[in-house]
Amino acid sequence: MKPGTSPSAPTRELWQRLKASGTARASLLLLIPLLVCALGADLIANDRPYTMVHQGERYFPAFRGMLVDTGLVHWPQPLLGVDFSRLPRSQGVFAPIPYRASGIDLMNSLTAPSSEHVLGTDKLGRDIAAGMVHGARISLTIGVVAVGIAAVIGILLGAVAGYFGGLIDLLVNRLFELMMAIPTFFLIITISAFVREPSIFYIMAVIGFTGWVGIARFTRNEFARARGMDYVTAAEALGAKSGRIMFRHILPNAMDPIIVSVVFGIAGAILVESGLSFLGIGVPADVVTWGSILNEARGNTFAWWLAVFPGCAIFLTVLSYNLLGEALRDALDPRLRGHLKGQ
């Protein structure tokens, strides 16, 4: 083996176990299409054509549009007056779902799935298929960012408590118990009551700041265990500072349960977001998420497509993250089987 190329034993074993695991494969089978949807949402569902000829010039509005949305460039002069959603389909090459998620069309309110709108439309005539695809991006972003915030808080607090022990450990543990004693969902609803202008970022932050306890506890236990290991004592004997010992020496060895906990946490965060959107306290009204589509099904019980499609999407996404979490847990440490769950 060439020097510098061999993976560490844990990493290599992890890959082998994951490859052999049916659970892992099943979860990836579900997650990969979801990731494709999330990353390529603008190419899968877009009311702007990929390419079109207008007044003798060729344009690429779908791609240009992404830059326009970021504020970096402007539409070229000839396209300024064009309403893409009313453009005849024959005038350009369109995305498979030629609608955007929030494109209101009151003429087509609550249409059932048809060749025009494959998954139907909601009360405002918004295309559900486009909403589902863009909702995937929002769901995954919320899951990852919220748990990212939770992981940073959880790892910092857990590391400090586990490494220093004593009084600090005692106090941080009481904080864990305090957080666990408050039902997170109600805490989020309460906080929402004080927020004037809800946004997706605020939802991510709230879920993140309330969801770190599980990660923190796993981190704390791993650090407390590593504290007495010889390789940590050796680093101390070298004169390494506490921060270096904690994050360079111990953290890489403590990652296993943290990773598993993060993956379960993503599933939890997606579920919380859907729940909030369903109750109508999550994201602003003009943002379409799976939860908000589901919310519309409440008032329009005959429109089964408003309940079935987002419901299935939430179910499959949460299922796939939970499967991935379980596969990782079993692959990282078979002894943990059945013991480690999300928050």
Partner 1 sequence: MSGAPLLEVEGLAKHFPLGGGWLGGERKLLKAVDGVSFALAAGELVALVGESGCGKSTTGRLILRLLAPTTGSVRFRGEDLLAADARRMKELRRDIQVIFQDPYASLNPRMRIGTILEEPLVVHGIGNAGERRERVHEVLGQVGLTESALGRYPHEFSGGQRQRVCIARALMLGPSLVVADEPVSSLDVSIQAQVINLVQDLRQARELTILFIAHDLNMVRHISDRVAVMYLGRIVEEGRTEAVYQNPLHPYTRALLDAVPIADPTVRRQRQLLSGDLPSPVDLPPGCRFQSRCPEVMDRCRKEDPQLIQMDSVHRVACLLHG
Residues that bind partner 1 (CB under 8 A): 1-6, 8-10, 229-231, 233-241, 244, 249, 252-253
C-alpha 245 chain-centroid distance: 31
For partner 1, the closer of residues 96 and 252 by Cβ is 252
Residue in 161, 101, 94, 105 with CA at minimum distance from that of residue 137: 101
Q: How far is the CB of 6 from partner 1 (least distance, A)?
A: 6
CA distance 264 to 285: 28
Count of CB atoms within 10 A of residue 182's CB?
12
Shortest separation between residue 171's beta carbon and partner 1, angstroms? 19
Of the candidates 132, 260, 275, which has an alpha carbon nearest to the alpha carbon of residue 203? 275
Backbone dihedral region of 83: left (phi > 0), alpha (psi from -120 to 50 degrees) or beta?
beta
Q: In this complex, which beta carbon is closest to partner 1, that of residue 248 or of residue 341?
A: 248
Kindly tell me which of 88 and 239 has the beta carbon lying closer to partner 1. 239
| CB atoms closer than 10 angstroms to residue 196 | 4
- Our CB check for partner 1 shows the closer of 1 and 72 to be 1
Closer to partner 1 at the Cβ: 22 or 228? Answer: 228
**DSSP-derived secondary structure for 42-109:** HHHB-SS-SEEEETTEEE-HHHHHHHHHHTSS---GGGTT--GGGS-GGGEEPPSB-S-TT---GGGT
Residue listed under structure tokens 């997606």: 270
Q: Which is nearer to partner 1, 181 or 238 (CB)?
A: 238
Measured from the CB of residue 178, what is the shortest distance to partner 1 in angstroms?
A: 25
Q: How far is the CB of 123 from partner 1 (least distance, A)?
A: 54
Query: DSSP letters along 194-243, please?
Result: H-SS--HHHHHHHHHHHS-HHHHHHHHHHHHHHHTSHHHHHHHHTT--HH
Q: How far is the CB of 285 from partner 1 (least distance, A)?
A: 48
Supply φ then ψ for residue 87, to 5 degrees: -70, 135
The residue (of 76 and 243) whose beta carbon lies closer to partner 1 is 243
Q: How far is the CB of 234 from partner 1 (least distance, A)?
A: 5
Q: Which is nearer to partner 1, 5 or 301 (CB)?
A: 5
Residue 244's SS3 state is: helix
Q: In the complex with partner 1, which residue's Cβ is closer, 6 or 91?
A: 6
Nearest approach in angstroms of CB 164 to partner 1 is 15
Please name the residues in contact with 300: beta carbons below 8 A apart, sequence gap of 6 or more.
Answer: 110, 122, 123, 306
Q: What is the CA radius of gyration of the chain?
A: 24
Least separation in angstroms between residue 14's CB and partner 1 is 12
- In the complex, the smallest distance separating the C-beta of residue 243 from partner 1, rounded to whole angstroms, is 12
